[in-house]
Amino acid sequence: MRQTSQISKLTSLRAGFAAVSIFALSGLSGQVFAADPAPMAPAAETKAAAPGKPKVDVAAGEALYSNGDASRGVTACLTCHGPKGQSATATWPKLSAQHAAYTTKQLKNFKDGTRANPVMMGMVATLTEQDMQNISAYLAKQPVSQGVAQNKSTIELGQSIYRGGIAAKGVPACAACHGPTGAGIPSQYPRMGGQWAEYNAAQLLAFREGVRKNSSQMTTIATKLSDQEMKAVSDYMAGLH
């Protein structure tokens, strides 16, 4: 009996110890998991959606070009460049059908001073980039300017330079960039066909003399041309279409 009683007590103690141990381990297990970091939530999008390019508003461009904006001190462009970009005098370039990207670049260059021109720098001072894009888009949709070569005595020289360049001077053919009909290449090289000969000659001279500095390529080319060659090729381009 005594032995049986001792065995029963021993069995009860063992059971109690096991219960306590299980309880303790359960509590410890809870503490361990509680200390673990919470499962990582799906990563949020860290890269914000790239904002879209401003939508070009041709109607707004036409309004600014034709009427300006007195509230911002913006003068109507047609005052000098004529209705629809068809200027009446070589003092101001024809802008109709010019590639929008090229016109926008020139307006930006006037504003940041890369291309120096007191009149145009004042004109663009209050224009936003959106304004510039709108005006350029409007002009790009206008009819192509027409012109004629005036000087018959230099037409062959002008044609030779435009189509074949001047190998002896390292002058490339103008047509390589501005196209066989002077239409240019959108976003890269401007339309030249139909432009005032006097205006183009003045720009070539400005490049050569370092007055206009917003095209290193044209500066390099112009420094190799004589006055006669500039006038000849400019006159020839006026008749391209």
Task: At 229, list the tokens.
Answer: 């060659």
pLDDT at 38: 37
- The pTM for the full model equals 0.78
The answer to whether 113 and 146 are in contact (CB under 8 A) is: no
pLDDT band at 4 (very low <50, low <70, confident <90, very high): very low
**Confidence check: pLDDT of 24 > 80:** no
Q: Tell which residue, 166, 170, 167, 188, has the closest CA to residue 179.
A: 188
Q: Tell which residue, 140, 137, 122, has the closest CA to residue 191.
A: 140
Location of each CATH 1.10.760.10 domain in the chain: 58-140, 155-238
Under CATH, domain 58-140 is a member of which superfamily? Cytochrome c-like domain (1.10.760.10)
| CA distance readout (Å), 189 to 3, 59, 76, 106, 112 | 111, 25, 26, 12, 20
pLDDT at 44: 40
Reported as a single tens digit per residue, the pLDDT across 150-161 is: 999 999 999 999
pLDDT band at 223 (very low <50, low <70, confident <90, very high): very high
Reported as a single tens digit per residue, the pLDDT across 35-85 is: 333 334 444 443 444 556 669 999 999 999 999 999 999 999 999 999 999
pLDDT at 158: 98
pLDDT band at 187 (very low <50, low <70, confident <90, very high): confident
Measured distance CA(85)–CA(76) in Å, rounded? 11
Architecture of domain 155-238: Orthogonal Bundle (1.10)
Q: Tell which residue, 169, 106, 177, has the closest CA to residue 140.
A: 106
What is the DSSP secondary structure assignment for residue 71, as one 8-state letter?
G
Mean pLDDT of 162-182: 98
